[in-house]
Structure 1
Amino acid sequence: MLRSLFSRKKKQQEVTILAPLTGVVVPLSEVPDPVFAQQVVGDGVAIDPIEGVLVSPVDGKVTHLFPTHHAIALTSDSGLEILMHIGIDTVKLKGKGFTPFVAVGDQVKAGDKLIEFQLETIRQAGCATVTPVVITNGDVVAEKQVVASPNVHAGQEPLMNVVVKGGTA
Structure 2
Amino acid sequence: MFSLFKKKKAALHSPTTGTLIPLSKVSDPVFAEGMMGPGVAIEPSIAEIYSPVEGTITTVFPTKHAIGIKSKNGKEILLHIGIDTVELNGEGFDIQVKEGDKVSPDTLLVRVDHSLLKAKGKASTLMVLFPEEKDLPSVQERSVSAKEEIFSLD
Shift of 1:147: 5.7
Greater C-alpha radius of gyration = 1
Instruction: Give a deviation string over 1:110-144, Cα, whole Å, max 9, x none.
Output: 220000110001111111111111111115xxx73
1:91 counterpart SS class: helix
Listed one character per residue, the Cα deviations across residues 56-90 of structure 1 (whole Å, up to 9, x for unaligned) are 01110000111111110100010011111111001
1:13 & 1:47 partners in 2: Cα distance?
26
Q: 1:159 to 1:148 in 2, by over 3 A?
A: farther
- Structure 1 residue ranges without an equivalent (≥5): 1-10, 164-169
- The alignment's C-alpha RMSD in Å is 1.9
Q: What TM-score does the superposition give when structure 1 sets the normalisation length?
A: 0.82
Q: Distance in 2 between matches of 1:160 and 1:115?
A: 22
Within the candidate set 133, 138, 147, 2:128 is matched to 133
How far, CA to CA, are the matches of 1:132 and 1:124 in structure 2?
20
Rounded Cα–Cα distance in structure 2 between residues aligned with 1:37 and 1:30: 6
Q: CA deviation at 1:34?
A: 1.4
Taking every aligned residue pair, what percent have the same amino acid on both sides? 39
Sort the Cα spacing of 1:97 and 1:87 in 2 relative to 1 into closer, same or farther, 3 A.
same
Deviation at 1:146, TM superposition (A): 4.4
Q: Say how many residue pairs are matched.
A: 149
Q: Does 1:121 align with 2:116?
A: yes
Conserved 8 A contact 1:83-1:136: yes
Shift of 1:162: 2.1
Superposition map of 1:123-162 within 5 A: 123-138=118-133, 144-146=136-138, 150-155=142-147, 157-162=148-153
Q: After TM superposition, which residue ranges in structure 1, 4 or more long, deviate above 3 angstroms?
A: 11-14, 146-149
